[in-house]
Amino acid sequence: MSDEDDYMSDKFLCGDVRPSLVQQPNKKRQIFLEEKKRAHIKRQKQESFTRKGIMNIKSLEESLKKPIENQNKGFQMLAKMGYKSGEALGKKMSGEETDNRLIEPIGISIKSDRGGLGRETALRDLAERRRQKREQQLRNRLVGGETVTVEQFRKRAQEKADERFAIGALKRSQLSCETLDLENGIKEAELSWFWPERNENVNEEGSDETNNENNEGAGVNDNEEEYTAAEKVEILTSYLRTSYKFCFWCGVRYKDQDDMNSNCPGESRDDH
């Protein structure tokens, strides 16, 4: 170590520390795909583990419900002692009017946790009752005079979930469109719904003038064309790709069309 080295100088104290955020689209895309792949593998392992556990439990329960086959050595030994299939074991007591002997063996309850036997049974019965109740409610549900099946109910629930996702994606894409338009000197949206709605306090006269100006600037009357939230997302994301080489689903603005074609998997959400 030389005498000229001063560890209190700016050479050591004020180093060139750059932020760790990834700015390159290619690197950002690669990191995103790797994280998505790891999450997918982890989810598959968890689902496989759960599925195997359920299958093992079901297989064991089905095996316990089956009677002993005639080829079983234990059954053959009992048969030699006079036992016949369907009869109870043991000698019937004389003088008894009813036969209280058990024909079926006592069931085996396999514990999977540390809870008490009574509580475990109660919870299992409760879950079964709730499942039966839900199925009954689905069968009795009437919409338009028709009974809704389980498949129809699931389909409608999925449609509602897709609609909620489309509404959220539309709001986010509107913010992206407004930001990019303003950065490029565009003061008015190409279509009235391309930008987020602004709830401003205006008087009635001013609101009429504003609505007229918006309709003229938009170029398309909203009453003439009506779209669902999913259709609006498709149109708006296509506009962002064409105008600014910005992929809403990637969250990346590419340098040019070649860069987008090389690094973006596609135009739709399913492609990502």
In which residue are the tokens 């994280």 written? 35
Confidence band (pLDDT; 50, 70, 90) for 268? Answer: confident
% of the chain beyond a pLDDT of 90: 11
Mean pLDDT of the chain: 75
* Res. 57: pLDDT tops 80: no
* Res. 78: pLDDT tops 90: no
Q: What is the pLDDT of residue 218?
A: 45
pLDDT (tens digit, 9 = 90+) per residue, 98-157? 667 777 766 666 665 565 555 566 667 777 777 777 777 666 665 545 556 777 778 888
Strand ranges inside the chain, DSSP E: 142-143, 146-147, 246-247, 252-253
Phi/psi region, residue 251 (left: phi>0; alpha: psi -120 to 50; beta: rest), is: left
Confidence band (pLDDT; 50, 70, 90) for 216? Answer: very low
Amino acid letter, residue 272: H
Q: What is the pLDDT of residue 220?
A: 45
Distance separating alpha carbons of residues 167 and 84, to the nearest angstrom: 68
* Res. 19: pLDDT tops 60: no
Nearest C-alpha neighbor of 267 from the set 254, 249, 252: 249
Phi/psi region, residue 113 (left: phi>0; alpha: psi -120 to 50; beta: rest), is: beta
For residue 177, how many other CB atoms are within 10 A of its CB?
A: 26
For residue 195, how many other CB atoms are within 10 A of its CB?
A: 19
Nearest C-alpha neighbor of 213 from the set 189, 181, 179, 178: 189
Name residue 31's beta-bridge partners: none
Q: What is the pLDDT of residue 99?
A: 67
Name residue 142's beta-bridge partners: 147
Indicate the range of 39-43, 222-226, 266-270 predicted with least confidence: 222-226
pLDDT (tens digit, 9 = 90+) per residue, 159-198? 889 999 999 999 999 999 999 999 988 888 888 889 998 7
Q: Exposed (0-12), middle (13-18) or buried (19+): which is 118, by Cβ within 10 Å?
A: exposed
Q: What is the pLDDT of residue 168?
A: 93
Distance separating alpha carbons of residues 231 and 237, to the nearest angstrom: 10
Q: How many CA atoms lie within 13 A of 272 on its CB side?
A: 14
Task: Record the tokens describing residue 100, joined without a space.
Answer: 């209280």
Q: What is the DSSP letter of 70?
A: T
pLDDT (tens digit, 9 = 90+) per residue, 220-247? 444 445 788 998 998 999 889 888 889 9
Q: What is the pLDDT of residue 30?
A: 83
pTM of the predicted structure, to 2 decimals: 0.41
